Amino acid sequence: MFDENADDYFSYVFELALDETPPSDPAELRALLHDYYAGLMQAVAKDSGRTPGTVVVHIDPTDDGHDLAEIEMTDEFTGGAPISVALELERTDTCIIAVVTPSRDDGVRAALQRARTCLPCAAAR
* pLDDT interval class at 79 (50, 70, 90): confident
In a domain, 91, yes or no: yes
Write the CB contacts of 124 (distance below 8 Å, at least 6 apart in sequence).
Answer: none
Answer yes or no: is pLDDT of 70 > 70.
yes
**pLDDT score of 125:** 64
3-state secondary structure 91-122: ECCCEEEEEEECCCCHHHHHHHHHHHCCCHHH
Give the mean pLDDT of the chain.
89
The per-residue pLDDT for range 2-39, each reduced to its tens digit, is: 778 888 999 999 999 888 888 888 899 999 999 999 99
Residue 6 lies in a domain: no
**Count of domains in the chain?**
1
What's the rounded Cα separation, in Å, for the pair 119 and 44? 25
Q: Is residue 7 situated within a structural domain?
A: no
Whole-structure pTM value: 0.88
Contact indicator for 92, 80 with CB cutoff of 8 Å:
no
Q: Tell me if 3 is assigned to some domain.
A: no
**Residue 1 forms part of a structural domain:** no
In this predicted structure, what is the pLDDT of residue 40? 92
- Decide if 35 is inside a domain: yes
Residue 4 lies in a domain: no
Mean pLDDT in residue range 92-110: 90
C-alpha to C-alpha distance for 34 and 40, rounded to whole angstroms: 10
Kindly write down the DSSP assignment for every residue of 20-58, as one continuous string. SPPP-SHHHHHHHHHHHHHHHHHHHHHHHTPPP--EEEE
Write out the residue range of the structural domain in which residue 111 sits: 12-123
Share of the chain above pLDDT 70, in %: 96
